[in-house]
Chain A
Amino acid sequence: MSRYIATRAIRGANALVGEAEVMLERALVEKGPDTPIAFPNTAYYLPVIFGMMGKEVEHLGELSEILDHARSLLHPTPSQEHWTPYLGETLDSGMATLIAAEAIEAIRYVYGLQPESKPGFESAGGTSFTSPDMNGGDGQSPNGHLNGAIDDIQLRSWGIQLVDGRMPGFAAIVGCAKSNEAAVQIVRELQRRNILCFLSGNVNGRSIIDQLDEEGVELGYDTYTVPFGTDTISAIYALGFATRSALTFGGLKGGQAREILNYNKDRVFAFVLALGEVDDLKYAAAAGAINFGFPVIADTVIPQILPTGVTTYEHVVSMPWNEIAGANDSEKAEQLVQKCIEVRGVKIQVADVPVPVPYGSAFEGEVVRKADMRAEFGGRDSRCFEYLKMVKLDEVTDGKIEVVGPDLSAIEDQGSMDMGILIEVAGRQMEPDFEPVLERQIHYFVNGASGIQHIGQRDITWIRVSNKAAAAGFDLEDFGKILHARLHSDFGAIVDKVQVTIVTDPDQVEARLEEARAAYDFRNTRLADLTDDAVDEFYSCTLCQSFAPNHVCVVSPERLGLCGAYNWLDCKASFSINPTGPNQPIKVGRVIDPVRGYWEGTNDYAKAGSHGVVEELAMYSIMENPMTACGCFECIMMLIPEANGVMIVSREDTSMTPAGMTFSTLAGMAGGGIQTPGVMGVGKYYLISPKFISSDGGFKRVVWMSSNLKDSMSEELKVVAERAGDTQLIDRIADERSVTTVEELLPWLEENNHPALTMDSIL
């Protein structure tokens, strides 16, 4: 601390704890102590309070004890002279601030004051938006209000990106930038580096949220910019997110405060960016954030705290906007963001993609609405496909990008055109099996461009180019530039040369589509042949060990990683790219039990990889030594003994399940690298694998599944049903539309003749 910061932070902390006490007192009178309090869709109660104190606060009345603790952490401000030390005292006061802030937001949820209302605001994905079920039913729309707390669903879906480094960390931006232009540039710089931006606070009533909104920047989950609220108190959601990262992925329990804080210091690369004048409360909240190891960077003159220790590097850095070298706001923003990254010690690789629009993963989720669209390829009115093939080194010219046929200018406004994207790659380490692995990346690569929307794959690709992107000069050859740059930067170890041909000439499209389809068929057949028995190596995936230190995925051809992001071929390619990386081949070795899926190699690996936590691993069973999970699983499976089967809950499903728990609560049991028979986190494509819990009876054991799985995977599930010899099988499986309790489940299954009821006991 500095004495100045200590004084202001401690003063702010005292004020906020007082404010929380007054609010609570009033709420207890007006609403009563038994009034439930909760943040939406989280299994972690009020997460900071749960993490730091181990208290499962569910009712208003329980907050009294919490605020008593916050008060006990407060201290008097340091004297003007002859002061006693203040660093520890300020950090404690900061923690008191966080506890009080979370209590205040919880009370505001009771009063319907959170999420904060903002008439006319349109969200690019938010807490209520991630659940399809919440959109209509209760009248909550993602629009017209700011985001409030982040739900567990979003936390988990960002999980894999946070752990694999695609999302290096988050910036808790508090306040208001010097100008709208500066606000936009700062956020763009962060987005370009795929750093999640949490927005909150204001300076004299103006918030960065207002600034960005005015400038038409899309704010929401999909664009990595989450508008929490326009006061400083809402910045608590950032620390709730951080706390839950440790609980979700670190296998830590509520109350392990020191471990949770150190986890954040060591593994969560977050920082606070204080824009504009810093007031008492911001200093107080910043002191709270420093407990997490998150440094503070300000764009104004504030006292600096440069010695290190509580944070990894400097604690507080002042970088007055006027003094930043740079010809314009854009250059200054870049410098500022660079400094933030340096202070937090974030490692970031940015592929330089030479296109005329901003580029970064943060733009992957952008939606191009019909009204904002310049042109589209694919969809209802045209055809679009993409095909990546391996060729010999001398058959390709690296960097050659050719557009065969008319370009964007030939299309009328909001019109469409047929297009094929053909990529030829060559490399000494390249294998034909990697073609689909690389091809699948086209979706992410193309989406990274701001104003471009990419959906689907192969011959169901659908691409939209926005007016804004077109106005900035984006044209068809830019697809080629993106793919060339990204394939080199991400897959440079296996790809030496990349050539892209964009085909819009109708005859050419027809001819090339034929060729591509033949290749798709060939690959499908190859994939069908690619069974666990057909290979002698599986792959480990320890990508999540940076977050879940004892968890290890074993990925086989017929069982992909639980995050859904890595299948066997991905792992194989990843190993080729980085032979000492997180995906290592596991020689399966001697078969111990082919039914349950035990091999000597997998067992040995599980033991070593989990640091002895897991002794044995059954690849095909949920009941016996099941695979552990980190926290970023797409689905959770859980035994329902009464029904002699299992249920499958998807990450997007927030409704109640027959197990009496929602996904969020179940996730607490499934994550953290713990082996729990009867509970397993899985990738959704494992459901359609012939090896899906094959030793427990396979897919016929599924008695309940989230309806969105049934809907989104209907084609694939049809195949599974046929394989099981019962075309009606999917209809015999209950979902949340029909059944939400185990009492309702049994009669429903009987009524629908579910096969599990007559199968051998699963236990």
Chain B
Amino acid sequence: MVDEKTRTPRNKRRTPEESSIDPAAIEMLTRADLMGIGTAFSRADGLAPCNIGAVGMCCSLCAMGPCRLTKDGITGVCGATIDTVQSRNFIRSVAAGSAAHSDHGRDMAFTLKAVANGEAEGYRIQDIAKLRNIAAEYDIPIKDRAPEEIANELADLYIAQFGQQRGALAPIRRAPEKRRKLWEELGVIPRGVDREVVEALHRTHMGDDQETEHLMHHAVRTALADGWGGSMIATDVSDILFGTPAPVLGEANLGVLKDDMVNVVVHGHEPTLSQMVVAASQDPEIIAYAKAAGAEGISLSGICCTANEILMRQGIPAAGNFLQQELAILTGAVEAMVVDVQCIMQALVTLAERFHTKIITTSPKVRIKDATHVEFDERHALTIAKDILKTAIDNYENRGEIQIPDYKNSLVPGFSHEYINYMLGGSYRASFRPLNDAIMSGRIRGVAAIVGCTNPRIQHDSHHTAITEALLKQDVLVVETGCSAIASAKLGFLLGDAALDRVGPGLREVCETIGIPPVLHMGSCVDNTRILTVLTQMVAEGGLGDDIDQLPAVGLAPEWMSEKALSIATYCVASGAYVMMGGYNPVEGRGDKVPDSVLVSAHISDGWEEMYGARLEFLDDPQEMIRRTLNHIDAKRAALGLPEYDPTQFGHSGDARFNEMEEAIGEAPLEERRAALYGQVPTI
């Protein structure tokens, strides 16, 4: 039974199998169809994207418009040309993305300050070593000082980054020297996070900055304020407060929901509340309360990047990525979905009304009509978390018929750059040398960061996994964050076991040597800064050039949808990484009709390559993305003078031969077994 209103005008309604490749998602989409419930997938089918807005040819910045510049030579009422309009739209998106990440970072810094001053209930500084390391980077004295004292000073420094008016953002100093010099020459070093965002909005106001290069220049500065500012601060502080991630065993997909427990799903992006919900869910009082309500206990899981935050640190299961927020509710088994900020669909509330699920908003910044609001306040964090859980438990009795898909996969997340450093050499010899060596020898052909959202206009997870799967076979080491990582988790790529038969021979050797999955889950989308840090450390380790743009590395966001993704893409390109985004190009224009409408696209690809050594491209064909990734990696390898990729040379390490021998001689007499250790006697 299909709701007529959700049909697409062109009658292009996709089946569940066409909508997603994830069996759990397919099962829930089928259930939605049966129940006559619409989801983002069906709404996407029913609502064709605006073909003018999608390619950036509409200006709605003032009341003289909106102006649709769909013909050659047409300008806006004010005379704005097509490229000005596209640039302004682009930079506004970047500003919004940068603002979202950075505001997250600001809140983290304030939390750090509160914890340092003993004003935050239930929190403590969990990673004192990282606190000291980071403080030392900024020349904050650490000797003979209490962690709280150091944290207080670091928090002040970090808080100041947002309102700073002049100079350079403090974390910029972590970038490779050559890159910093380039930014300095180009004048794109951010002065203060808020200043760049405000200036982006100012410049794009009617009648201000109206030159593409100049506008896009500030897009870079605004994005750098995210990647080397707000986001980096967010990651740093999260690690300090909640612990730097290290590998743990976790699970992902809707099958993690429990039929006999109170299911609480946290969704959004910030770890502040969710960490406290984790703590509260283990409280005996709460467990007893849940049991009194007839449940076996509380089962916590996450959606989107809040999921990643608690998955990376505590191994709390991830129920799914962005497009699974509605599907989780569709199981009927979720007592409460607790949301904070970013990527929370308003549709949740209407959907939840069909079930017993309570949607609880918690951020002072985010309310949704008809949702329950329990405002989070770090001063009473634990109390609030417990109250939320009690609300969920009280709701357990209202649960109706449920259908939890029996699909879940194990995964090992937790690859902070600190852990990567450790895993490559232990406490005494930690370094990036083995990684650089592996790339230089060609065991690892290159590195791809596959990140970003899922988007209902693309078959859910399909591009992420197609690209991941193909690159792994080509010995490309993949690092992932955000919703992309959860997509790979669902295919088992985040397990060391996967390394053995689904990746190229050289990469397999490396994975088996270290014990890593071929795809490293590095965190939430705000943690893309961890990737910047890894790239920087690879440069510093030596042998792969002296700047990020020389590395055989590529960034991909195959199913992106949010403005944050544009900010991330921009700061990555400005940092020297070639970035390919899937699907729709917000500045694509219509070259056939309006020749000048491709100028901005050319600027962010050819123009930025000239300036930053890296391009930003939008491609809707995953095969083309794979092809370009490999071409880019091989070209960078050649430029570095590294040997041409040749997988036939590798694959001779590992346990396989030994295990075969063990198996063959298994129960043989001792003498025979001993003799077998010396190998095969050659037959003459």
Contacts and interface: CB of A to CB of B under 8 A. Distances in A.
Interface of B: 247-249, 410, 412, 422-431, 433-438, 441, 443, 495-497, 509-510, 512-516, 650, 652-655, 657-659, 661, 674, 676-682
A219 B622 CA distance: 66
Nearest to B248: A84
Nearest to B421: A88
A87 B423 contact: yes
A2 interface: yes
6 contacts: A83-B496, A277-B674, A277-B677, A304-B654, A309-B436, A320-B677
Interface stretch (A294-302, A430-438, A481-489, A620-628): A294-302
B428 A261 contact: yes
A369 B677 CA distance: 41
Contacts of A262: 429
A306 interface: yes
Contacts of B509: 306-307
B661 A85 contact: no
Interface string A310-329: 10000100101111000000
A87 B431 CA distance: 12
Which 8 pairs of residues, A with B, have the shortest CB-CB distance? A309-B434, A320-B679, A91-B426, A86-B515, A85-B515, A300-B677, A84-B247, A323-B679
A88 B427 contact: yes
Contacts of B423: 85, 87-88
A308 B437 contact: yes
Given A84-B248, A308-B434, A322-B682, A89 B426 contact: yes
Contacts of A94: 426
Given A261-B428, A315-B513, 20 more contacts: A4-B655, A82-B410, A82-B496, A83-B515, A85-B247, A86-B514, A87-B423, A87-B424, A87-B515, A91-B428, A257-B428, A258-B429, A291-B429, A307-B437, A309-B424, A309-B435, A310-B429, A310-B433, A321-B678, A321-B679
Contacts of B512: 2-3
Nearest to B665: A301
Given A300-B677, A320-B679, A322-B679, A91 B653 contact: no
Contacts of A85: 247, 412, 423, 496, 514-516
A299 B678 contact: yes
Contacts of A4: 655, 658-659
A380 B652 CA distance: 62
Nearest to B430: A88
Interface residues of A, number: 49
A73 interface: yes
Contacts of A299: 678
B424 A88 contact: yes
A1 B437 CA distance: 15
Contacts of B248: 84
Contact of B676 (A2, A257, A261, A301): A301
B428 A307 contact: no
A167 B446 CA distance: 39
A389 B581 CA distance: 79
A307 B412 CA distance: 22
Contacts of A83: 412, 496-497, 515
B425 A88 contact: yes
Interface of A: 1-4, 6, 52, 73, 78-79, 81-92, 94-95, 178, 257-258, 261-262, 276-277, 291, 299-310, 315, 318, 320-323
A262 B427 CA distance: 13
Contacts of A78: 515
B680 A320 contact: yes
Contacts of B657: 301, 303-304, 318
B427 A323 contact: no
B495 A82 contact: yes
A89 B441 CA distance: 24
Given A87-B515, A95-B428, A323-B680, A308 B496 contact: no
Nearest to B247: A84
Nearest to A81: B497
A71 to B, nearest CB: 13
A3 B653 CA distance: 11
Nearest to A304: B653
Contacts of A91: 425-429
Given A4-B659, A320-B679, A307 B434 contact: yes
Contact of B679 (A3, A90, A277, A301): A301
A178 B434 contact: no
A31 to B, nearest CB: 31
Q: Which of A81, A257, A309 has the largest number of chain B CB atoms within 10 A?
A: A309
Nearest to B657: A301
Contacts of A81: 497
A52 B680 CA distance: 41
Contacts of B682: 322-323
